[in-house]
Amino acid sequence: MELYKENQLKIYNSLTKSKEDFKPITEGYVGMYVCGPTVYSNAHLGNVRTFMFFDVVYRYLLHLGYKVRYVRNITDAGHLENDADEGEDRISKKARLEQIEPMEVVQMYTVDFHNVLKNYNFLPPSIEPTATGHIVEQIEMIKEIIEKGFAYEVNGSVYFDVLEYNKSSNYGILSGRKVEDLIHNTRALDGQSDKKNPQDFALWKKADDRHIMRWPSPWSDGFPGWHLECSVMSTKYLGESFDIHGGGMDLKFPHHECEIAQSQTCSGVKPVNYWMHTNMLLLNSQKMAKSTGNFILPNEILSGNNTILSKAFSASVVRFFNMQANYRSILDFSGEALEASEKGHSKLMEAVHFLPKIAAGKTSTFDVKNWKKDCYDAMNDDFNTPILISHLFEAVKVINQIKEQKASLTAEDLSELTTTMHAFVFDVLGLMNETTQDNSGKITGVVELLIKLRKEARENKDWALSDQIRDELIALGIQLKDGKEGTTFSIN
């Protein structure tokens, strides 16, 4: 039986601002759309936090036995510099500055994005559509919105009429904003805009002479508005209504609000059942953003080539760091926090890799079945990775007690503990153990040689050498434990 049939998943729905039982539209199948990157520059760690969380969501849904169609788009055109439909397409601007073709910019940063995700052990999405690959569909959706009376064309550009839409629907249903307040808090139009109202947003923009990326349309040579592509691609690949839509909280308004308005105008139905939004990643207690220069790139962490951290850290440690906080909480990234995560990650991996060495006992001193239920309960409670990790460390404690012969597990319980640990550590959280995989044999061999030399020193009553070996290993974070069956060690 599929695990989802015995696990009731609850999701915090940004639309209702409450946790709800997850019930997919079609039993056993999940459609999930996540807003991907705009490929005009390298994605920083704050961007990657969102994708990393939804990688865990994807992994857990698969683990539960759902068949998942995960769509994550690439925005490779039509993204203006601000949400007021003004400025220049960021990709065109980058191409102009670098004196290269816009698609060279797109290719460069798409490849970099994929390399980062590969390095950090992401599962690829089911479909990764691009905005430029769906220009025809975007034009067709604009035609439909115009025909239904919710958009207008001025001087070759087309705008969505928010006030007209709000007469029969609720623009602001996701963000909680009211059109009346938006009007009150918006500057009056200065006469240079083609919009009827400041709240209206672009579906199609006429390209000026400077704009490199442009396509023919019934209205002008131009390019689609930023919000339109996600409505088009989510509808095409997931249907008029689908299960989960995710993204960073900065996209809730106006991007996701505009998506709802566009999609609902065309279909007449609620486009998404569960909206999920991740919170910000700070860097040394300040917002991580390229505009302020306060950011770090994921690959800079792996190489150590940065001015923020004192050394390099593995991708698995960074994943572990991210999963130690709830996705709806602000997370503060710093060297100290990462070093603490590295220690925890090392203890977890050491315990996991010790599991095959454990001999089954006649009795169990740990309730594995109840512990396993706690692990699932944590993930079923809106993907609560910090609580899951706390339960994983309960198992780490038991494994260490078994090392010291202070606990035991029957063969059945040992098998269940091993299977569950591997499932959550590797399959769900997506952690890796690069250091242990690459160097565990060498480290173990060296430490066991030193333990042998220490044993010989003790037999020869060379207490000074025996103590020196023990103390220097402790200084390196390696703790020796003398017992009836000999000396074992742990790495702190």
- Per-residue pLDDT tens digits of the chain, which is 492 residues long: 799 999 999 999 999 999 999 999 999 999 999 999 999 999 999 999 999 999 999 999 999 999 999 999 999 986 665 555 666 678 888 888 888 888 999 999 999 999 999 999 999 999 999 999 999 999 999 999 999 999 999 999 999 999 999 999 999 999 999 987 777 555 444 445 789 999 999 999 999 888 889 999 999 999 999 899 999 999 999 999 999 999 999 999 999 999 999 999 999 999 999 999 999 999 989 999 888 889 999 999 999 999 999 999 999 999 999 999 999 999 999 999 999 999 999 999 999 999 999 999 999 999 999 999 999 999 999 999 999 999 999 999 999 999 999 999 999 999 999 999 999 999 999 999 764 444 555 677 788 888 888 888 888 888 888 888 888 888 777 878 787 667 877 765
pLDDT (0 to 100) of residue 185: 59
Query: How many Å apart are CA 152 and CA 203, to the nearest integer?
Result: 10
pLDDT of residue 317: 97
User: What angle do the packed helices 315-323 and 385-403 form, to 10 degrees?
Assistant: 120
Buried-exposed string 263-274: b where 16+ CB fall within 10 A, e elsewhere: bbbbeeeebbbb
Give the CA angle between residues 246, 280, 51 to the nearest 5°.
40
Please tell me the distance from the alpha carbon of residue 197 to that of residue 200, in angstroms, as a whole number: 6
List helix spans (H) across 194-334. 228-238, 257-267, 298-303, 315-323
Q: State both tokens at 359.
A: 């001999």
Quote the pLDDT of residue 492: 58
Token readout for 84 is: 């007021």
Structure tokens at 183: 């009007």
Q: How far is CA 267 from the centre of its chain?
A: 29
8 A C-beta contact, residue 343 and residue 337:
no
Residue 490 buriedness (CB in 10 A; 0-12 / 13-18 / 19+): middle
Quick one: DSSP state of residue 358? P
Mapping DSSP onto H, E and C, the string for 451-487 reads HHHHHHHHHCCCHHHHHHHHHHHHHCCEEEEEECCEE
State the pLDDT at residue 188: 46
82's torsion region: left (phi>0), alpha (psi -120 to 50) or beta? Answer: beta
Sequence letter at residue 475: A
Instruction: Identify the DSSP state of 371.
Output: H
| Segments making up each domain of the chain, as ranges | 3-278, 282-428, 434-491
CATH of domain 282-428: 1.10.730
Packing angle of the helix pair 463-475, 434-459 (nearest 10 deg):
160
CA-atom Rg of the chain in angstroms? 27
- Cα separation, 358 vs 362, in Å, equals 13
DSSP 72-136: E-BB-S---SSTTS-S--HHHHHHHHHTS-HHHHHHHHHHHHHHHHHHTTPPPPSB--BSGGGHH
Sorted by sequence, the CB contacts under 8 Å of residue 362 that are 6+ apart come out as 408, 410
Q: To the nearest 10°, the Cα dihedral for 181, 183, 184, 187?
A: 140
Closest CA to 348 of 415, 280, 395, 281: 395
* CB-count burial class (<10 Å; 0-12, 13-18, 19+) for 298: buried
**3.40.50.620, 3.30.365.10, 3.40.50.300, 2.30.29.30: which CATH number matches 3-278?**
3.40.50.620
Rounded-to-integer distance, Cα 366 and Cα 97, Å: 63
Closest CA to 34 of 211, 277, 199: 277
Residue 421 in tokens: 């640990």
**Any residues with CB less than 8 A from the CB of 467 and at least 6 apart, and which?**
none
| CA atoms within 13 Å, Cβ hemisphere of 274 | 21
What token pair was written down for 28?
A: 């056993």
**For position 441, what pLDDT does the model report?**
54
35 near 255, Cβ under 8 Å?
Answer: yes
pLDDT of residue 192: 54
